[in-house]
Amino acid sequence: MLVGGKGFFIFLAVVLLGYHLLRGRRAKYTFLLAASWVFYAAISPYYLWVIWLLTGIDYYVGRKIEGETDEHKRKRWLVVSIVSNLGLLVAFKYTVFFWDTGVAVANLFADVPPRAWDILLPLGISFHTFQGISYTVDIYRRQIKAVDSKLDYALFVAFFPQMAAGPIVRAIEFLPQMAMPPVPTAQQIQDGTFLFARGLFKKLVIADQLDLLFVSAVFNDPSAYSAVACRWAVLAWAVQIYCDFSGYSDIAVGVAKWFGFELPLNFHLPYLATSIADFWRRWHLSLSSWLRDYLYFPLGGSRGSTVRIYFNLMLVFVLCGLWHGATWAWLAYGVYNGLLMSLHRVFDQAMKGRAWAQRIRVSQPWAVFAWLATFGQLLLGLILVRMTGWSNGAAMLEGVLGLGEGAKLVPATVPLLVLLGLAGHGWEIVRERLPRLAWSWDPLRAVNAAACLASVAIFSPGVSKTFIYIQF
């Protein structure tokens, strides 16, 4: 598969070479757009029309919104964009979920045959639909101007490094960089190489190895494993999903730098969060900020009645869960996080203005307690989205709580891989707190990148596993 196999490296080399050899803005961008559509078609060959259709609709709608002076007409055109993007997203992503739910309800009264068909998800539809919506909304809010060039807008939507699994890039971040084809600086080339190597290491050496060696086996049959093994499996799953997704983001941001473009970083040490709100300010930043700016704030945010505020929080996180996957487990994950966010707000409001509470909350012991409590909450929530069924999830929870009777233990390599997956958090802390190390940062990164690539060559499992977030 092009996005995860050896074909990607050949594709990337050809595109980089062709792009930098071409001269002229239009030639470069036409070539890069064509390459991005080839990338899309290689993975979703029957759905190229989806990205073409939405690109055309949003480009046209953006022009109409900017050209209209009547506020009602501007709003109607905005609705066209939102309905088009969300309509196709819902049709492809949620039809099966709604159908199966309806069949399950109908089976309470009569025998209904199970579904004998399926719908494949177009590549990156959860990401580029949100990019299209943010573009037309920002024009409606008069925060940006509609782009004149169809070529520029199409490339913004289809730019292949981040097309499959983000980060979700906004037009206000990307389109200004396209004024003239950017020439990558030496620093960008260095940074891109480091990020690319680090992303490959996270994905192939840590995430895939953890899944193949341990995570899938335990989650498929948690009753066969000891309580210690179940706890390690949940921790390993947390490291796996972080290294898989942040690995993709690192590769996407790194490759974009080789073309001279800057994409937003998607993670900032999420497992150092000291509250659930802090976690969502660190994890999948492009989605969290999108939901905040285009859903939570328009709903009223933290303004209005208490009931309305908590309704807004719950709705945002329920939709966040469903954005990730059209299953009851992902819905439960959204509800779980919405409840945690609501409880966190209740606690914050109760402690506000109390001098004694503020003294405690800025102390080191409290920071450690808050981190442990937050990390425990995150691990329990991740069981929901990895379990293979509700009974399986209950068995996993029993194992984690030490109520299971399984005997299988933890492979010796698992703790090492988990520590490797979390080592980046520790290094970033050191780098932020000891800025004097900056003089040695570039040489250390060069050594780190070389070690990552060598590890990939030696320890990669040799089995091409799709990036987890491509499925969303």
Give the pLDDT confidence of 195-207 residue by residue, as tens digits: 999 999 999 999 9
Residues 431-442 have a mean pLDDT of 61
- Give the phi and the psi of residue 444 in degrees, each rounded to 5: -65, -40
Residues 147 and 241 in one domain: no
DSSP for 118-138 reads --PPPTTHHHHHHHHHHHHHH
Residues 82 and 141 in one domain: yes
At residue 435, does pLDDT exceed 70? no
Q: How many CB atoms lie within 10 A of CB 347?
A: 12
Residues 21 and 74 in one domain: yes
Burial 438-462 (b: 16+ CB within 10 A, else e): eeeeeeebeebbeebbebbeebbee
**How many domains are contained in the chain?**
2
- Mean pLDDT is highest, among 112-121, 306-315, 362-371, for 306-315
Residues 99-128 have a mean pLDDT of 84
Residues 229 and 357 in one domain: yes
Q: Is residue 1 part of a domain?
A: no
Residues 361 and 410 in one domain: yes
Q: How many CB atoms lie within 10 A of CB 298?
A: 10
Of 136, 156, 181, the residue that ends a domain is 181
142: left (phi over 0), alpha (psi -120 to 50) or beta: left
Residues 200 and 175 in one domain: no
Q: Is residue 343 part of a domain?
A: yes
Residues 338 and 223 in one domain: yes
Q: Is residue 231 part of a domain?
A: yes
β-strand partners of 408: 225
Q: Is residue 390 part of a domain?
A: yes
- Give the phi and the psi of residue 462 in degrees, each rounded to 5: 80, 5
At residue 12, does pLDDT exceed 90? yes
Of 125, 150, 181, the residue that ends a domain is 181
Contact present, 401 and 227 (Cβ < 8 Å)? yes
Q: Which domain holds residue 392?
A: 188-471
203 against 463, higher pLDDT: 203
Residues 214 and 171 in one domain: no
Is 324 in the active site? yes
Of 137, 155, 181, the residue that ends a domain is 181
Residue 439 half-sphere exposure toward CB, CA atoms < 13 A? 1
Q: Is residue 111 part of a domain?
A: yes
At residue 438, does pLDDT exceed 70? no
Give the pLDDT confidence of 315-373 residue by residue, as tens digits: 999 999 999 988 999 999 999 999 999 999 998 888 888 888 788 888 888 889 999 99
pLDDT at 101: 85
Residue 373 half-sphere exposure toward CB, CA atoms < 13 A? 13
**Peptide bond preceding 222: is omega within 30 degrees of 0, i.e. cis?**
no
Residues 149 and 204 in one domain: no
At residue 1, does pLDDT exceed 50? no
Q: Is residue 274 part of a domain?
A: yes
The three-class DSSP label of residue 61 is helix
Residues 167 and 224 in one domain: no
Give the pLDDT confidence of 70-95 residue by residue, as tens digits: 999 999 999 999 999 999 999 999 98
Secondary structure of 136-187 in HEC code, one letter for each residue: HHHHHCCCCCCCCCHHHHHHHHHCHHHHCCCCCCCHHHHHHHHCCCCCCCHH
Q: Is residue 28 part of a domain?
A: yes
At residue 127, does pLDDT exceed 80? yes
β-strand partners of 225: 408
Residues 127 and 272 in one domain: no
* Distance, CA of 386 to CA of 216 (rounded, Å): 9
User: Given 72, 284, 324, 344, which residue is catalytic?
Assistant: 324
Residues 193 and 152 in one domain: no
pLDDT at 439: 47
Helix (H) or strand (E) holding 209: helix 208-210
At 317, list the tokens: 């996180």
Q: Which is nearest to 145 in space by CA: 169, 177, 167, 175?
A: 175
**Predicted TM-score of the model (pTM):** 0.90
At 37, list the tokens: 């559509």
